């Protein structure tokens, strides 16, 4: 292999996967700097104009979430268009009737599973309900704070899924194209991206080795709809409501972070191995049970919706690859 082929895939006429992934991170950093500079100027102007106005801290959350989401969308679009040389929709963003059906099912599933977690912990005495309509004193309006957090978790569901289940999964799958069985390359990528997702949460408050492993399992859960449908709708819908119901409806910490506003205020008790303790349900065995149940529901949904279980995301890969779809053997 000469120096050029070390960097350049002549068959695909573009950079090799490893270099595309590195360049993607640099483009995201560059986009962050540009948008951060622009937004910083706007903030200075706003503070000058509204110098005597008290700003509710919830508005700061909106500003941060919009900025992060724009960085992820713009940075990813630039990379996909000019580095990967493919359509942005190939990341599972083929909006249409099926996409929105998947989104609605994912949103229902995330909320339903968190209801089950709450009721299970309540039944076993692992939580105590202390009150309702709880908000931190810094939040001047409970319902405004709830709306802002709903918006925040919508943003988190979008940008984390684009980053992990969209860009990483698709590009790594292409990088393993040297494996004759393309299904194997995809499943390896699925495991790697889920592991990265778990490690990204290792620095969260209250994180433990068990919580990191649980978030890796959550990565597999969130990615399942993507690899089976080739669409990101289910993953995004699931991610949004899982977080929102966990933190803002039932008052659990979300991956170790307290939201500060919730419909129900609770006190956590019980064995931390089961409940996750200060990290929230995602750090305990109870989330593993919910994840396994949720994955079974996703298989059932895809079987009912599409009539078969297959690795549909393979058809999203770079056009130079033949659009082969591998079928999984699922026992009746």
Residue ranges of the domains in the chain?
Answer: 90-316
Mean pLDDT of 293-310: 93
Confidence of residue 332 (pLDDT cuts 50, 70, 90): very low
Q: Which helix (H) or strand (E) holds 269?
A: none
Q: Residue 141's pLDDT is what?
A: 83
Determine the distance from the C-alpha atom of residue 289 to the mean position of all C-alpha atoms in its chain, rounded to a whole number: 19
Q: Which residues contact 76 (CB under 8 A, 6 or more apart)?
A: 24, 28, 88, 91, 162, 163, 166, 167
Residue 10 CA neighbour count, 13 Å, CB half? 6
Enumerate the H helices of the chain as residue ranges: 3-7, 17-49, 57-79, 97-123, 142-161, 169-175, 182-200, 209-229, 233-244, 272-275, 285-306
- Residue 326 predicted with pLDDT over 90: no
Q: Residue 206's pLDDT is what?
A: 85
Determine the distance from the C-alpha atom of residue 129 to the mean position of all C-alpha atoms in its chain, rounded to a whole number: 29
Structure tokens at 308: 């078969």
Q: Residue 263's pLDDT is what?
A: 96
- Residue 324 predicted with pLDDT over 90: no
Question: What's the sign of the alpha-carbon dihedral 32, 35, 39, 40?
Answer: positive
DSSP annotation of 214 reads H
Q: Residue 48's pLDDT is what?
A: 67
Burial of 242 (C-beta count, 10 Å sphere; 0-12/13-18/19+):
buried
């Amino acid at each position: 292999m000469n120096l050029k082929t070390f960097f350049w895939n002549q068959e695909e006429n573009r950079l090799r996967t490893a270099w595309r992934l590195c360049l993607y991170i640099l483009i995201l950093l560059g986009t962050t700097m540009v948008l951060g500079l622009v937004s910083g100027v706007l903030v200075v102007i706003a503070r000058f104009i509204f110098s005597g106005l008290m700003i509710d801290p919830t508005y700061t959350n909106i500003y941060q979430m919009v900025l992060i989401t724009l960085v992820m969308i713009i940075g990813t679009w630039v990379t996909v268009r000019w580095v990967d040389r493919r359509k942005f929709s190939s990341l599972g963003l083929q909006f249409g009737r099926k996409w929105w059906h998947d989104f609605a099912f994912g949103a229902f599933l995330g909320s339903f599973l968190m209801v089950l977690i709450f009721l299970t912990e309540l039944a076993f005495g692992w939580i105590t309900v202390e009150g309702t309509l709880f908000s931190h004193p810094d939040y001047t309006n409970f319902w405004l704070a709830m709306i802002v957090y709903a918006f925040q978790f919508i943003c988190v569901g979008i940008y984390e899924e684009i980053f992990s289940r969209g860009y990483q999964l698709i590009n790594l799958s292409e990088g393993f194209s040297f494996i004759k069985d393309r299904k194997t390359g995809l499943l390896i990528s699925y495991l790697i991206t889920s592991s990265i997702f778990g490690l990204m949460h290792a620095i969260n408050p209250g994180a433990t080795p068990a919580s990191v492993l649980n978030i890796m399992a959550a990565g597999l859960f969130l990615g399942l709809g993507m690899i089976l449908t080739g669409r990101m709708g289910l993953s995004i819908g699931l991610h949004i409501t899982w977080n929102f119901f966990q933190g803002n409806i039932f008052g659990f910490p979300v991956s170790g972070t307290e939201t500060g506003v919730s419909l129900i205020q609770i006190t956590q008790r019980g064995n931390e191995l089961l409940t996750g303790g200060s990290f929230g349900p995602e750090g305990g065995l109870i989330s593993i049970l919910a994840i396994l149940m949720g994955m079974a529901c996703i298989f059932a949904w895809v079987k009912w919706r599409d009539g078969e279980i297959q690795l549909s995301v393979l058809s999203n890969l770079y056009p130079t690859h033949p659009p082969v779809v591998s079928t999984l053997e699922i026992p009746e």
